[in-house]
Amino acid sequence: AQSVSQHNHHVILSEAASLELGCNYSYGGTVNLFWYVQYPGQHLQLLLKYFSGDPLVKGIKGFEAEFIKSKFSFNLRKPSVQWSDTAEYFCAVNRGATSGTYKYIFGTGTRLKVLA
């Protein structure tokens, strides 16, 4: 069965520290990859997405992610976090047109707490 793994469940960082959140998926075919963020009390918001092309994608709020096909990974990075980045981060994968439904498979999420 397809799965998405996020290895860091809770991360605590000080402001200005660098962030890397891991995401690995198990599906071997063509995939589309996403990172969503959920701020406390708010809905899931898209940070960035990868469909094809340059494997290094830049998103909103200074986030970027790199797709490494050989490692089945799509890790999220930010060079310098801010207190306002405190949130839960979800990696998601879909199989695009192959699935017919474009449903997402989510990772377990990573709770990030940034200390001021």
Partner 1 sequence: EPEVTQTPSHQVTQMGQEVILRCVPISNHLYFYWYRQILGQKVEFLVSFYNNEISEKSEIFDDQFSVERPDGSNFTLKIRSTKLEDSAMYFCASYKGGADTQYFGPGTRLTVL
Alpha carbon distance 68, 104 (integer Å): 19
Which sign, positive or negative, has the C-alpha torsion 89, 67, 48, 82?
A: positive
Q: Is 104 in the site for partner 1 (CB under 8 A)?
A: yes
Alpha carbon distance 92, 74 (integer Å): 10
Least spacing, CB of residue 26 vs partner 1, in Å: 14
Q: Which stretch binds partner 1 (CB under 8 A): 16-24, 56-64, 70-78, 102-110?
A: 102-110
Applying CB under 8 A, among 85, 90, 93, 114 the residue interacting with partner 1 is: 90
Least spacing, CB of residue 49 vs partner 1, in Å: 6
